[in-house]
Amino acid sequence: MPRIDPNSLQNLQERVIKTNKVSKTHKGGKTASWNALVVVGDGEGHVGVALGKARAIPDAIRKGTEAAKKSLIRVPLVDRTIPHEVVCSEGACTVVLRPAAPGTGVVAGGSVRAILEAAGIQDVLAKTLGSHNAVNTAWVTIKALKMLKHPKQVVEARGIPSEQLSARWAAAVAASAMSSEAENVGEA
């Protein structure tokens, strides 16, 4: 997957999902530190998540934001939702993402909701099973979003004729073809 340049994206917004105070005990006493889980997204299909660690909260948030910008991924969107259902597990945490009808909204909670909103997904049903730890849930959600395939990619890989596609997928493939033609015209 090619790396996405955060400087080329406009409207990148950051959101702190969770902060956590931690301390380490030394011979001379305890040393306090902070973790900040940060999500960065442009609302148009690009999202990144990272964990920043520092002695102060603002520094942890800044580090998390910089790391999240370096870990941006592209999420395929079809009519404001995801193209297909995906179930992803990592350790004790499982995330289920399902496409939803227009007007449903983001039916999710915790870090899953923050990540999906930052990516620009507006209609989706999500469920977290097992562990509800915000950090682990964030990693599993990003892993699930990486598993999504755009209908155009699936059609090309399988060599399926367009007559066999469902109406929603056929519309998504046609819209994708029109947007790529518009980009080619703009570059010329």
pLDDT tens, position by position, 45-63: 899 999 999 999 999 999 9
Nearest to 119 by CA among 95, 148, 153: 148
Domain that holds residue 55: 6-73
Look at residue 166 in the predicted model and tell me its pLDDT.
64
Counting beta carbons within 10 angstroms of the beta carbon of residue 26, is it exposed (0 to 12), middle (13 to 18) or buried (19 or more)?
A: exposed
Q: Is the pLDDT of residue 128 over 70?
A: yes
* C-alpha–C-alpha distance, residues 149 and 158, integer Å: 12
Assess whether pLDDT exceeds 90 at residue 40.
yes
What's the CATH number where 66 sits?
Answer: 3.30.160.20
Total domains in the fold of the chain: 2
Distance separating alpha carbons of residues 140 and 49, to the nearest angstrom: 11
| Residue that finishes a domain, picked among 44, 73, 102 | 73
Give residue 182's pLDDT: 55
* pLDDT range class, residue 156, cuts 50, 70, 90: confident
Within a domain: 92 = no
> Among 28, 55, 73, where does a domain finish?
73
Write down the residue that tokens 């790529």 correspond to: 180
| 79: in domain | no
User: Does this model's pTM top 0.85?
Assistant: no
Given 73, 102, 117, the domain boundary residue is 73
Query: Is residue 116 situated within a structural domain?
Result: no
Q: Does residue 46 lie in a domain region?
A: yes
Nearest to 37 by CA among 50, 21, 55: 50
